Amino acid sequence: MAEFVGRRAELRELLGAACRAGLVVHGAGGIGKSRLVAELLRRLEPDQPGGRTVRVPGSATVDDVMIALGEPRPITEPVTLVVDDFATVPRPGGGGRAEPVDPALAGFLAGWVREPGPRRLVVTSRYPFALPGNAHRRLAELHLGPLTSGDGRRLASLLPGLAALPPGQQDRAWAFCGGHPRALEDLDTLLRQGGADFADVAGRIEDVLAANGIGDPLRWAGFDDPTAGRALAGAIATIVDEVLVHDLLEVRHHAARAGDLAGRLGDDEEAAAHHRRALAVDERLGRRAGPAGRHRLGLLPGDDDPAEAERHLRQALAVDAESGNRAGMASGLHRLGLVCTLTGRLPAAVALHCRAFATELALGSPDAPIELADLSRLRAELGDEAFRRAATEVLPEASMNGLIRMLDDFVTAADHRYN
C-alpha cells in the first residue's frame, strides 16, 4: 500500500463518527478507500488500549470471519472488524443500495453491529449497501471521491515518474485522470517502465476523452454539485483506465519478448532488465484488478481448492458488477452455486442459482435451462420446504409460485424425454 497523502476533510468526518457502531467508506475501485481506512485505524489505535483489529477480505465467508476472530468467547476487549472491498452487486429498486453477494455474511455483519459490547465494524465497498433488518442505518457512511488538486500534487511528488514533471503537467495529469489515485499510479508506471513521453500520453488521452464528449477534462472539478462532479470524474477515470491498462499490457508484452530474445542471445543482464519491467507491470495491474486483471495477464493460479476458487469467483463477480457485465455476473453466480453445492452448502447454492436464473431470464440467455436443472436437483435433495426457505432469501414471495411451476414443468418435460 502506497504512502497515505491528504484526505484531511474525509479523515475529520470519519474520526467524528467513530462513536457509531461502524463506518462504511464506499467509492470507485482504486479511489483510496483501503488507504484511508488504514490511516483512520492508525489514528484510532491510541483510543483503544488493549484492543485488536481483525481484517478479512470482502469475499470472505462467515467461516473465514470466525476463524479470523479466533476462539468463540465473550468479547471483553475492543475489537474492530474490518471488511475490505465488501462483495456487493447493484440491486434494481434498492434505493441506490447494493445487495451483499453472500447473504450469510450480511446476516453476520448485521448481528455484529447490533450486539452490545466494545466492537466496531469498518467496511470498504464500491457501493453503499443494505444489511438485514436495516442494520446498515447504524453505520456512518462516507462516499470517497476524487483527490483535490493539492492532494493530487502530493501524491505525484511520491511517484518517481510524475515527480519529475513540472507542477503544470502534474495538474494536467490530475485533471485528465479524474483525480483518481489508481489512474495516477498507472500513469506513473507507464512513464517509468514504458519510457513514454508525458506530452504524447496526455495528448492521446485527452483526444480519447474528447471523442467521448469530454472536451475539458478539468470540468469535473468545477461543479457546484459534488455528486455531479464525482460522477463525471468517475466517467473520466473509467475511460482513462482503459487507455492506460491497454498501454501497460503492451509494455509488458514487448518487455517480456525483449527479455526472452536477450536471454536466447546470451545477454543475461539485458534479459533480467526487461523481465523486471514486465514484472513491474504485472505487480501494478495484478494488484489493481485482482483475479480479473491477473487473468488478463495470464497469472490466474490453477488452484483446485474450493475455498480458493470461491474467493476468486466472488472477487471476479464484484469486478463484473462494477463494469455492468450482467452476463459475466450470471456466469459467476452459477459457478459460485456449483462451489457451494460441492462443499455441502445447499441453501446458499439455491440462493446463488436463483439469482443466476433471474439474471439469465432478464438477458434472454440460453443458459437458463441449465440453471433450472441445478435448481431441480437441489430441490429434490433439500425437500420443498427447505428449498422454498432458501429461495425466498433472494426472491420475493410473489415470484416463488412462478419458479415452482417452471421447475415442475422442467421435471415433467425431462420425464417425457426419458420415457
Concatenate the DSSP letters of all residues of 277-331 into one string: HHHHHHHHHHHHHHHHHHHHTT-------HHHHHHHHHHHHHHHHHHT-HHHHHH
The answer to whether the beta carbons of residues 155 and 147 sit under 8 Å apart is yes
Average pLDDT over residues 288-301: 42
95-109, 172-186, 356-370 — most confident range: 172-186
* pLDDT above 60 (res 419): no
Q: What is the pLDDT of residues 36-58, one digit of tens each?
A: 999 999 998 887 777 889 999 88
Mean pLDDT of 282-304: 50
3-class DSSP assignment, residue 97: coil
Q: Is 22:140 a contact under the CB 8 Å cutoff? A: yes
Residue-wise pLDDT tens digits, 106-122: 999 999 999 887 889 99
Residue 62, pLDDT above cutoff 60: yes
What does the pLDDT average to over 407-419?
Answer: 60
Asked if pLDDT for residue 179 goes beyond 70, the answer is yes
Cell 464525482 belongs to residue:
230
- Which of 31-45, 281-295, 304-318 shows the lowest per-residue confidence on average (mean pLDDT)? 281-295
291 vs 212, higher pLDDT: 212
pLDDT beyond 80 at 245: yes
Report how far residue 183's alpha carbon sits from residue 237's, in angstroms, rounded to the nearest whole number: 7
Alpha carbon 90 to its chain centroid, in Å, reads 12
Strands 22-26 and 52-57 come out as: unpaired
**pLDDT band (50, 70, 90) for residue 162:** very high
Please state, in angstroms and rounded to a whole number, the distance separating the CA atoms of residues 184 and 174. Answer: 7
Which DSSP string do the residues of 178-218 spell out, in sequence order? TT-HHHHHHHHHHHHHH---HHHHHHHHHHHHHHTT-S-GG
Cα of first residue to Cα of last residue in the chain, in angstroms, is: 62
Residue 8 has pLDDT above 70, yes or no: yes
pLDDT at 71: 67
pLDDT of residue 94: 62
Whole-number percent of the chain with pLDDT over 90: 34
Quote the CA–CA distance of 129 and 136 in Å, as a whole number. Answer: 7
Band of the pLDDT at 22, cuts 50, 70, 90?
A: very high
Cα 103 to Cα 352: distance, rounded to the nearest angstrom: 10
Which range is least confidently modeled, 2-6, 360-364, 391-395? 2-6
Average confidence (pLDDT) over 19-48: 90
